[in-house]
Amino acid sequence: MRIANITCMIVRLRLRKEFKHASFIRSYSDNFIVRCQLTDGTVGWGEGIPRTYVTGESPEGSLEQLVATDLPSQLGQKCDSWSDVIQLCRKYTPNALQANPRECLTNSHRCAVELSILDAFGKLFQSPLRDLVNQLPETAPIRKSSDRVQYSSAISSGDARKEIKSSLAMRIYGFKHCKVKVAMQPDRDPDRLKRMRQWVGRKMDLRVDANEAWSPEETERRIVALEPFGISCVEQPVPHAQSDSLAAIRKNITTPLMLDESLTSIIDAEHAIENGTCDLFNIRLSKCGGFLNSLQLAAIAHKAGLGYQLGCHPGESGILSAAGRHFATTVGSIRYREGSADKHLLKDFITRESLTFGYGGWAPALDSAGLGITIDETKLSNLSLRTRSFPIT
């Protein structure tokens, strides 16, 4: 079986409320969605979330990369097994259109194309995406099959009343883990964390995300000021360009540090391990170049004795939520799991199934073929800003 056609779309999904953090404020998400059709008519779907402030990508840039890539030569091979499909995806090298020293400028593009291929062939083989993990020798140390998983929640910046309401809701709803966005008004953060801790209770695992907002000179002081409130992790405290400074900072604090914007590729991972800049990786499927690359990053972290979380981008549709679910239910030792918050974050939905987690953040494994989702193509068409198709065979 071969790929017959690739169609890409830039799709705008509205958020239920404005999402704020130190790097950006947004009320909608422009997503890069790919439809892969095989020669027998089987269709698969993929999604990427290009963010200029994360990997330097944009939805329009992802489309331009697809136009500039020789798709027939790269995606025209015959595939009869998962092994063939894995080889096809790993060899796929989209045109970055510019120097790409960190190998991250095509990550959202790669994620969308790869997931669409994996979904299509998974349907063809009548095999769920989670089966793919057992085909990869490097995943052996991190494999762990689960029937269900628990996601964490998040609280973005807001006024005291909204933050109290959110904190209380997290506790009542039974969450075990919660991430708090900090650094928009850094001098207020200790008071915010103190107040939140009072309302979420002592048992809640609270971690913070600074989204690159602090300077190396202030980072240690900012973290020490938050430690009395029992934070379990600080995510990306400094800009990527200054991330090497974290090696020295780690020696003076007790709170683990997690890389996000500084962890986009194998190159980034190897650099972080060599320089000792973190304790954990934030692995996001789109940011890290797809399902296969993300599995490899988890294996690299495990081998180096580091932790990792499954992250997400606000605005992900059910496509990425489903892909994240397959990752979360087949990979062990994931410190935190983010995602599958569809109905809590989005106004617009393109999957017929709801991927939204339930009480306490719990969600079941997906066992249907491919990603295990069905796309409402009429809704998708209405939400599409641009569409373009590319014949492969």
- Tens of pLDDT along the chain (393 residues) come to 999 999 999 999 999 987 766 666 778 999 999 999 999 999 999 999 999 999 999 999 999 999 999 999 999 999 999 999 999 999 999 999 999 999 999 999 999 999 999 999 999 999 999 999 999 999 999 999 999 999 999 998 778 999 999 999 999 999 999 999 999 999 999 999 999 999 999 999 999 999 999 999 999 999 999 999 999 999 999 999 999 999 999 999 999 999 999 999 999 999 999 999 999 999 999 999 999 999 999 999 999 999 999 999 999 999 999 999 999 999 999 999 999 999 999 999 999 999 999 999 999 999 999 999 999 999 999 999 999 999 998
Closest by Cα among 202, 261, 205 to 237: 261
Looking up tokens 């190897």, which residue turns up? Answer: 270
Q: What are phi and psi of 7, to 5 degrees?
A: -120, 130
Contacts 24+ apart (CB under 8 A), 269-274: 269/297, 269/300, 269/301, 270/300, 272/243, 273/300, 273/304, 273/306
Question: Quick count: other Cβ atoms within 10 Å of Cβ 389?
Answer: 11
pTM of the model: 0.97
Q: How many CA atoms lie within 13 A of 53 on its CB side?
A: 12
Hey, what are 73's tokens? 């030569």
Task: Show me where the domains of the chain are located.
Answer: 3-126+377-391, 135-364
Spatial contact of 393 and 76, defined as CB atoms under 8 Å apart:
yes
| Protein fold of 3-126+377-391 | Enolase-like; domain 1 (3.30.390)
Sign of the alpha-carbon dihedral angle for 278, 284, 285, 287: negative
Selection from 311, 243, 299 nearest residue 274 by Cα: 243
Of the options 3.20.20.120, 3.40.50.300, 3.30.2090.10, 2.40.70.10, the CATH number for the domain spanning 135-364: 3.20.20.120
| Other C-beta atoms lying within 10 Å of the C-beta of residue 100 | 16
For the record, the structure tokens of 246 come out as 């974290």
Distance from C-alpha of 141 to C-alpha of 134, rounded to nearest angstrom: 11
CB 113 within 8 A of CB 91: no
Rounded CA gap, 313 and 339, in Å? 8
Per-residue pLDDT tens digits for 5-36: 999 999 999 999 877 666 667 789 999 999 99
Query: Which two three-digit tokens encode residue 299?
Result: 């294996």
Residue 295 in contact with residue 136, Cβ under 8 Å?
yes
Spatial separation of the C-alpha atoms in residues 369 and 376, rounded to whole Å: 17
